[in-house]
Structure 1
Amino acid sequence: MAAIFPLLSFSQENNETTFEKSLVKDVKSSNITWGPCPEFMPEGCEIAILHGDPAKPNVDILFRLPANTDIPNHWHNSAERMILLSGELQVTYEGESAQTLKQGNYAYGPAKKPHTGKCGNSGPCVLFIAFENPLDAIPINK
């Protein structure tokens, strides 16, 4: 016990921790800044950075594309954690059956695993994506 007490008192004395400021954003707000997707993505595709720096780890984005739009085969250096906010999105990962995300569905995409997608005809698809590593998308040209 005597060995633990110095550690406890050290952690109590070290209370000068600097915290990052918290954040709340309305994804339907006009304050969200949309920019273009990588060139290989379809016309009308847009990305908005919600939090973080796309060149650094731990970045959260919105990914939006028009209804009836195909997402070309590509992969990311990072795993993706996703929630579909609107539309209906079919996603197919290499070696797996197609899966359809509906509004509110969560999906996980492994790092470096090629995948394609298609936004259905029920309106634009808006997807929240959290990347562990810097934001990238590498096209697979076959």
Structure 2
Amino acid sequence: MNNTLKYSQLKVVILILTFFTSFSFYGQGDIKEAVETSMVRTHEDKDLQWGPCPSFMPEGCTISVLHGDPSKANVDVFFKVPANYEIPEHWHNSAERMILVSGELRVTYEGEKEQIMKVGSYAFGPSTKPHTAKCGDKDPCVIFIAFEEPLDAFPMVLKQ
């Protein structure tokens, strides 16, 4: 009976070790993802790299990637336009989550009334829904935008 008891105890120990070993490997994968470096940025940071907007946008529009890869899902950007700038009608494959950090922006989504964003305003833009915008005349407009899908923008003339 002692041998049987010892064998049963050994099976329990093996099961426990197997559980904790697999849990440990699982946890390590999660930890690697969580080790990413944190950051804080403002639209006025001197180290931001501003690049051009899509070619259909008028001159003066710039984008700075804050986090992520624009060719992959979940990318965050600052989108900046000068005062009095008109953003032509366009659409995105991704939904947009936006917060206005500078200026005043009038936004109109197809089939909806114009809405005015002021600094601190949050806006949600549904995927593939055409929209236009106009920056107010006092300050440049800077919008933080979180894209769920890869970053893209298409003028309305190209929507199929």
Common fold: TM-score over 0.5: yes
In structure 2, stretches of 5+ residues that fail to align are 1-15
The equivalent residue for 2:124 is 108
Partner AA of 2:24 in structure 1: E
What secondary structure sits across from 1:13 in the alignment? Answer: helix
Residues 105, 48 of structure 1: alpha-carbon distance in 2 compared, 3 angstrom cutoff: same
Sequence identity, in percent?
A: 58
Report the TM-score when normalising by structure 1.
Answer: 0.89
CA distance in 2, matches of 1:54, 1:141: 23
**Residue 16 (structure 1) aligns with:** 28
Worse-superposed segment, 8-17 or 119-128? 8-17
In structure 2, the partner of 1:81 is 97
Q: TM-score when scaled to structure 2?
A: 0.79
Query: What number of residue pairs does the alignment pair up?
Result: 138
Aligned partner of 2:89: which letter? N
Whose strand proportion is higher, 1 or 2? Answer: 1
CA gap of 1:16–1:44, structure 2 versus 1, over 3 A, is: same
Distance in 2 (CA, whole Å) between partners of 1:130 and 1:105 is 14
Q: Per-residue deviation at 1:11?
A: 6.9
Q: CA deviation at 1:135?
A: 0.3
Over aligned residues, Cα RMSD in angstroms? 2.1
Structure 1 unaligned regions, length at least 5:
1-5
